[in-house]
Structure 1
Amino acid sequence: MNGPHLPYPELCLPDLVAGHAQRRPHAPAVVQGDLTLSYRDLVGRASALAASLRAHGIAPDDLVGVCVDRRPDLVVALLGVQAAGAGYVPLDPALPPQRLRELSAEARLDVIVGAPTAAPEAFGDVTVLGVPAETAPWQPTPATLSTTAYAMFTSGSTGQPKGAVIEHRALTEKVTNIADFSNYGEATRCLAFASIGFDASVADLLAPLAAGGTVVLAGDAERADPTRLYRVCAEQGVDVVVLPPPILPLLDPARLPGVRLVMTGGEATGPEQVGRWTEGGRRFISVYGPTEATVLVSWFEGSGTWTRPIPIGRPAANHRIHLVDDSLREVGPGEIGEVLAGGPGLGRGYLFDAARTAERFIPDPFTPQPGQRLYRTGDLARWLPDGSLEFLGRADRQVKIRGQRIELGEVEAVLRRHPEVGNASVQAGVGPGGQELVAYVATGLDVADLRAYCARLLPPAAVPARMFTMAELPITINGKIDTERLVALAEPAPAPQGEAPATDTERLIAQAWAVLLDEPALDRDADFYDHGGHSITAMRLVADLRKRLGRNIAIEDVLIGRTLRGIAARADAAAEAGPATASRGRPPALSPAQQRLWFLDRYFHAAASAYNVAFAERLTGPLDIAALATALTAVADRQQILRWRIPDTDGVPYAVADPPAPVPLPVLELAPGTELATHLATGAAAPFTLATDTLWRAELIRTGADEHVLAVYAHHAVFDGWSQSLFYADLATAYRAALGDGPPLPPLPATYGDYVAWRADRSRRRAQQDLDWWLEHLTGVPVVLELPGGRDRPAEQTFTSAAVTTRLDRAATAALTDLAAGLGATPAAAVLAAFALVLARRTGHPDLVIGTPTVDRRAADFEQMVGFFIEIAPLRLRQAPEAGFAEHVRAAWEELLAALAHPEAPVERLVGGFGLGGLLDRSPLVQVLFNMYTFDEPKLDLAGLDSEPVPVAAPGSPFDLTLYGVTRDGHLRVEIVFNPEVYGTDLMTALLGEVEQLLRAGTADPRQPVSQLPGWTAIPAGTPGHVTRAARVKRAVGRSGAITQRPATATERQIASVWCNVLGIPEVAATDSFFDIGGGSLAVAVVQRQLNRLLGTNLRLVDLFRHPTVRTLATHLDSTRASMESPAESAEDAAVERAARRGAVRLQRARRRWTDEPAVEGDPA
């Protein structure tokens, strides 16, 4: 996944700081107590030190040690070394002399800048220079962006320190990056808390200086005493603090009222800290990044109550992250992989250690650009459904307990979630029964209470055998937990024995099994989970098997197969694995989902605006309208799909990309009496003509002297929900460039046409496998869901919309989130479970289909691409009110995972597979949708302007009803958008109330049978809704048995001949239904044309729907052929006729044109 693009200056840090000194010489750069160092004095003294260093022979790319007490002289020393062209090596004076000597020797230092309190004898023969008090005229640094900025030592697994070399380009990019998402500026006053030997000093010391802000340097006394820290922050007006996670629980946020931003990182942060520190609107940002990547590769901003482990967020601007298995192949969503980080923030390598550098800094296999590298962090993570990363600890922090592999970081995360736990560290030790877990917990709780808490949330092997409680955990000088004072790792437990596997595949799986579980898998019927496997090890097993077998193994193959024999059988049936990146330069082409939207737009007039997307932002401030128009044009130039049209030839749609051209931006003023909401709703409902219109438009509405509303309307075919954030990011960059304050938008690495080709290649390898899975999975489920109490359904589907909304309070939202996290799921699974239970209760049927959108942005090439990457997955939810709510949440989560694991069966293929093409009054197979927004709220950040979103009413409802969920500011907001011609507002309000009530009751008592929860009552007999027609796979071409009723009359034989020709099948029976043997609306139109030409009749499309078998259609034709006139039409006939006629296309031509996708034989949904 790639972060957004962010321009950064081509200057080294000393020159950036010198620029502020020239513009604002008297502005405070560093303050400590009564001492204030202005930018002029800071740069002047640094220049004097640089001259002294050059006089001692220091040249660009040399290294100079800095061993200065925490006083303003420290900042002078750091900047002075870089001003001389050298890189600094931080040497904390608090370290023991022996450690200082070792670091000095490792760095091969000849010169050290040291304060008088730093004992010179600690460094042997090394030259020690003081920090000059005098100033000198500034001279630009001789350093370049490719020379060393600093070398920072980190601990190694062998105990030998590693020196990570960071160049100026990485440093400049990183301070710019941090300043951007933290809003550092000239008014910023940031507390510098970190030791200079800790890379957090880049964020709290160097980044504020690069932005022209003020560094409030915390002395050793303030760093050790919270009371003094509060006083310093209050007296100096500190508004930003960067603190290590172990410090956060020790401080009272209420004592720091002026702080607007808390930044943390370096290790796992307790989730309760989010709520503590964001109370009152304060921002809370957790950053992730190794020293080797200049402190930052991803970041996460949280707010409100947070109970599950804090993610490490999404890639930072200009950076990319890949999760890979041991063979450097990218793992799928939800699977565990090692974090590989890339981008301009990567360091040069390790100091004087070419072998280690080559091992950890590797060529980037995921990009064609030469010279690109990735850093192997050794950290394990997985992609969450919302696109963020969940950190799972170090690869070398996995241990084996009683046959089960345990990730120590996960156990620590569970302990830290307890509201009365300040911090926790879990290590492996040796006990009477072999290896066991030992927990060290900062808490006042009893050990028995802690053990009971862990037993509720962890498997037995992961519950620490020994626990020690204390007031606080010891931390190192860098703010990390001092593990050397805890317990050492012990020897592994012996492995059990079993029976040998039988096939080559089983033996390969056994090898992977043995590595993961640290025991030989010798019994082909041994259960993976009985031997210590669980969801995480299953994901790792899947990644390993993909590498070993070269096949697209899915998590379900382990979940369902379980044994060596079962997993091997599923693996042998899996498709071969394919490439993870796209070929480039393919022409525009339509995806299956876009073809479905085109069909609905073309043949269902009412759907024309139902698939529009609309959003708006209120912009306050001095807006440059010409620059905004230029920026919109630049975005459309970068995002090719925003220049698309979708015309067709003889009913076959295709994509055309128009050349770049100025994007119109009309500036409007509302007519007197017109409400903004009404105007936006009207704009959202205005249809696009797909063949001739550019499929998006923008307008600017002037609402005040310095206030405008930017409205954007787009067709779903070119714009999905994820695209809004990408569009905003591009627009912000392009607007800054249009103002002359930044570089232009770079081109994307691929186009949507490349995505379609990549998707088609993947589909060719596994489409049939996924289709077979879905057809089997859904067989027997009712395909029509209609609630009781609804209105008379129109004969032809309409797409009008209305909405009802509710919002859960923070406590209920937190309880829901906590329940889901404890079950290893997400809040989406809990909301889906409640929704399905309520629908089952109202319809009286426990087996339902609920659709959900899935996002197909799996390849890095498409991460920043605007477009339509959505498919609808028909989830099968089976309800059992006698089971607890927790069990339904687990089942919903497993169904969501299963859908992600089988992406190659577009819903239109399932409609065809089940022969559901004859429905005109509703969406086939899926009439109810569930959509939980898991991405962050899109934010538009135009330079010099304040922005806030303006709500826009949905222009239509593509389904009978859709339940939307989103969590913002600690509140879960749930909305039902419905078709008011099918259901009334009172019914939908009651339905939504039942969902909310079940969410509250189910989270309060998740193990109580749902039927016994408060408010759960059975619907009275006789009132269930319409849940009918179990899904059955249509008869395959080439039946095994003989046809018993062959076409008998001349008309029957002619009809059968046309059907065989159109559907590509050898024979049909007189009693076969057209829709049961593969016919859909595309094919119906072709049949109508061919029969009219062959028989000389005036056959209407509605006749084919009303007489779907060969025999009934022949009887109808024979009775009407003499007159050659159509009978009088009823209103219902006319409606069906109109809808059917709009489906008149030539199917054979479509199949020839859509060569990149399997033929779509059923109804597009």
Structure 2
Amino acid sequence: MRIMPAEDTDRSVRCERPPTEVGSHWPAAEWNETATDYPRDACIHELFEARAREAPESVALVLGSDVLTYGELAHRSNRLARRLLDLGVGPDVFVGILLERSLESVVAALSVLKTGGAYVPLDPSHPPEQLAFQLEDTQAPVLLTRTALRPLLPPHTAAVVCLDSDWPSVSRDSTDPFPRLGSAEDLACVMYTSGSTGRPKGVMVTHRGVVRLLFGVDYVRLGPDSVVLHMAPPAFDASTFEVWGPLLHGGRCVIAPDALPSARELGRVLREGRVNTLWLTAALYNVVIDEAPEALASLDQLLIGGEALSVAHVRRGLDRLPTTRLINGYGPTEGTTFTCCYPIPRTLGQDTDSVPIGWPIGNTRVHLLDDAMRPVPVGVTGELYVGGDGIARGYLNRPGLTAKAFVPDPFAASPGSRLYRTGDLARWRPDGLLEFLGRTDDQVKVRGFRVELGAVEAALRRCPGVAGAAVLARENGPGGLELVAYVTAAPGSLQPQESDLRTHLAACLPKFMIPSAFVPLNSLPLTPSGKVDRRALPRPDPAARRGETAYVAPQDEVEARLAAVWGEVLGVASVGATDDFFRLGGTSLTALRLVTRVEHAFRVRLPPLALLRAPTVGELAAVVRAQGSGERPVGSSLVAIRAAGMAPPFFFLAGGTSVLDGRGALYLHRLAELLDPGRPMYTFVGEGFDSGIATDHLVERLAARFVSDLRADFPDGPYHLGGHSFGAFLALEMARQLQKLGKPVGLVALLDPLSPLYPKKLVRRERRWAPPVRLANHSAVGRFAESAGKMWERLAPRTVTVAPSIPTDSLDPADSPDTVIPPTEEEIRLGFIKESVARYTSIPRPFPGRVTLFRPLEAPPGHAGFSCDDPFNGLVPLVGPGIAVVPVPGNHSTMVWEAGLRVTAAGVEEGMRRGAGIGKG
């Protein structure tokens, strides 16, 4: 048996098997010495409950700003389980779950397990015909969903519980735990996979199979410090590892948002969630490692699988991710997610032309057998059979297919053991590693999903006007495989239109099984034996993907550059302004690649789902122009700096005009990092100027907008607010408006709200909260702006060097220093004028609450005469004596550099724990 040491400095894999001559046999018993101690008789929910009792306050689930602790997850699932028991759910009773990846989907699955029942994840993106089959196949008496998804359900007789509208009723049930229901041999879930005839197969997975996946294994390290990203659809078997892996070990499951439009966004989710363990399909890994390998740099463990790995991309990953452990994971759903794994050594041989799938994981057996079910020698190709505790019970309601695929194990010591016949071809290497070689049939993996080509062909032949059909999986660049359909028309019929074929297939096949390209043929090429000659099927013509749309040349440089990027990503020689990305063969993976390249090429940040909203070159060019010109889409002013975390969020407004013009302050991400790891942090960005000049009462108007957007996303307090310089004025006004609305306000953290760059005369007036002028009209605004401009001319020689001096450790980790566009001197000048006018056109109103003043210890060089000598920055007349003061290293500008941010973050945390000021002024 191989040994994987807990700590191996070069992360190499050590194996006790000595090299073996090719052609020799290895005793089956020694090949499969994988028995380890693990909680063999425990159920999934029992192991979770043990963790919940140990640490009920630990974070279990995170989705954006929504968090559930272990105790909360246990209580919610207990309530829902009682409702399910009342509806007749019990051991081996099926419960359908029609939900997207969400907190509710995990609560639903756990509640079903607690009743002894088995959950059946139903994918909302699947066509009605497939959902109808699954409901009929399982005869599930209960369905869990939410109100908005209920219309997707086909006709059925099940009782429906909507986890949003019905929750007030469910929440009245008891949270108390109840006695054990079910056993390790009972079913935990039913996962549907593609069937060769077009009829999906329901794989019946047991509790023991899942527990065996996660305990007594050495291919991955799982524990209380594990943070795993749940990115697979709930109906995909990888979700079994992503959800139960962390939750059964006391770790944290971070749920990915619905769409990750670029590698940069994936990297941001990983960093903000502090994810250290991730599973990716091989195709998605290839795209990310090509386009933005730094997105994966924060990971400790990266599992890759779903299809054969590219050696070149693995080597690139080993080079670009020096502290990340790469693991090749192999296994069919029938073997419960992983059967064999290979922690890839950093010294991967230069002569290696394929990445092995490794050895069987703990309590799993594998055999390579010939047609007579005899073991094949080392180096000889055989069919891979899987045995052990991970083997599924079989296929639901398919006894004939079960008997064919799940066969008696002739090598087992105990009677009744079975082997699953995978249909995969492999061979043992002389060094004792398994090497995957292909399939015995026409099953393929497309973006990690198992696809039976025969199922797609059967669906095509049912389309009106189709006589014959063949489907191939062809390489589509480093993004993986794409399905290409070849169709012939029925006698006397016109060739079916691609749009009609897509419409028909969409009604009976999930999206990942719908071909990317359709090639009409007069007849299918045949071999001498009369079978379809798949090698003679032509490659699809890229130009033909345009369909009936005429070519339109790009209209300007932006469109021309975009068309060039599209052509490179899609492998299309000529891309026009009206060409649709997805009609040209684009997929979710190539979309990720395209968005990343466009962002780098144009130095813009594309909004989420950009390609879905703007799928042509011309439409995307408009988005790029808007982003490049500084225009922002209409929407909420609330922007997440770090959305993940269970602690109360901190809402902070940056200084200067970053809060007004959308530039954003570079130090915000660093401040978020220095706060409690579980604390979300948000900022606000608004458009506050017309033609570059502020209007009257801007602070009040901006604060009102920010408060409105804040309450829309966070209706309940207490609200913890902060701001620097001009942002402090806004934070104080927001606190006042929230308090006036009857909302609880916690910490109000003001980082030097009086700018030391103003002359002493204005500072004195500002300290009394009396503006130097009453600006009643635009002409008065203009006059004051002119005065502020003259003031800037006097101060600029000593001030303009401040902004570019921001150290690189304050940059957003998603940006490299060479991609950050610093403000120009003119932008700094206009910002000074804008801020001056905005501050002096507003009359601050009293805030009857406590505040914490973060006051810099230094004055800017050359500006000591302009500093306010009041230790409370003139706040007493406005807020009263309840002011706590925190000294911060640096001056007004440098207090948001590293040393000052550390002190500020500690003061904010202390203040939030107390709910207001952190001491006496």
Scaled to the shorter chain, the TM-score interval is: 0.3 to 0.5
**Structure label with greater radius of gyration:** 1
Question: Scaled by the length of structure 1, what TM-score is found?
Answer: 0.36
